Structure 1
Amino acid sequence: KRIGNTVNRQVTFCKRRGGLMKKAHELSVL
């Protein structure tokens, strides 16, 4: 349960970071 929670947190963090990178890329393109 604890390990799964950690993995879940990592996945969420990766998704959030990916979204930020995508936004930054779009802003840089504009």
Structure 2
Amino acid sequence: MVSIIVLSFSIYCFITKRQSNLIRLKDLKVLF
């Protein structure tokens, strides 16, 4: 369970480095 959260957070961080703030918010809602 914890590993899934860590994995999701890692993917989220990877996405935020490459995308804009608007897409960042959308991805945040999807992951969490």
TM-score range (shorter-chain normalised) is 0.5 to 0.7
Pair member with larger Rg: 1
Runs of 5+ unmatched residues, structure 1: 1-10
Taking structure 2 as the reference length, what is the TM-score of the superposition?
0.54
**TM-score of the superposed pair, with normalisation by structure 1:** 0.57
More helix by share: 1
Q: Which has the higher contact order (CA 8 A, sep 6+)?
A: 2
**What residue ranges of structure 2 are gaps of 5+ in the alignment?**
21-32
